[in-house]
Every structure is written in structure tokens, then in C-alpha cells.
Amino acid sequence: MFKLTMTYLRNRVLCLSLVVSMPLLLSGQMGPAGILRPRYSQKVVTSGTEGKLQVELAVKDGFKVAKRPAPKLQVIPNAQFGVVVGAFSESVAGNDADYFGGFKPLELKIAPAKTTPAGKHSLEAKLTYFYCSEIDKYCSRSVEALTIPVEVAKK
């Protein structure tokens, strides 16, 4: 009788732990958000022509970002803008060859459609990267939603 009760209890605990951890597993992110902190250059882009926007990425103190798999910025397709994302590259070599020491500004080539009205707009994007905590000695994946501001001027 005791053995049956322990099996039942063990199964219940397993089910409960699965239910509690499911939101973390489905969200795609574990651990703290905001390890990579973006800062956007505010350049005006003319509608109908290609312009450039730079995104500076700073790493939060106490963390490091892995080179492999490479960080990825995916801009959600938008009918008003064509966007090409440049590659992530290192500005300064770090102590560990597997991690970025610092980031050069990430360049986005933005081409607003001729029909895009003048004014302030935004692009929705998803930033995915792997990071490690130097203090707590753990690593994790982060998927963060970004809103990239874009200002469009008429030709």
C-alpha cells in the first residue's frame, strides 16, 4: 500500500512541476531579460529611398553574450518598410574567444515605400541571443521583443 501511495505522490509532484514550468518553457526565455540593451540612432529616412539606422548594443554588467549560436535580429515584415539587417560583429576582443567583448553598431538598411506617410513610425523586431551570467554561473537563451523607432520625411 505504501509503494502505491509513493508512486501516486511522485506522479502528482511531476505533473505539478510541469504545469508550473510550462509558461517558462513556452515563452522562449529563461532568466532575466535585457542583457543586451539597444540604443537607436535617430536618423530621418526619406520615403522612397534607402536609409541607414544604427543600433548600438551594450551588454549588462556581469553577463556575456555567446558568439555561437550568433545573435539574431528578426524584423517583422511590414508593408511600409523594406529592412535588411547587417551582421553582428565584435568591436573589442574579449578575454574569452567564445563570447563577444563588445559590439560594433548593428546597421539596418531601411527603405520606406513611396506611399509611407511622413512622421514617426516603428518596426517590431525579435532579438534572440544566448548569454551567460559570470556571477551566478549559468547560461540561457533570451528572446526579446524590440520596437525600433523610425522617422520618415517626405521626398
Q: Convert the pLDDT of each residue in 41-76 to its tens digit.
A: 978 999 999 999 999 999 999 999 999 999 999 999
Going by pLDDT thresholds of 50, 70 and 90, the confidence category of residue 7 is low
pLDDT-wise least confident of 1-10, 79-88, 96-105: 1-10
Coil vs helix vs strand at 112: strand
Model pLDDT, residue 32: 62
What's the CATH number for 31-153?
2.60.40.10
More confident: 131 or 8? 131
For residue 8, name the pLDDT band (cuts at 50, 70, 90): low
* Identity of the residue numbered 72: K
Dihedral over Cα of 96, 137, 141, 125: its sign: negative
Query: What distance in Å separates the CA atoms of residue 112 and residue 47, rounded to the nearest whole number?
Result: 5
Please check the confidence at residue 37 and state whether its pLDDT lies above 50: yes
Q: Which residue shows C-alpha cell 537607436?
A: 40
- Domain ranges, ordered by start, for the chain: 1-29, 31-153
Which phi and psi angles does 3 have, rounded to 5°? -65, -40
pLDDT of residue 94: 86
pLDDT at 153: 93
> Given a cut of 90, is residue 5 above it in pLDDT?
no
Which position has the grid cell 556581469? 62
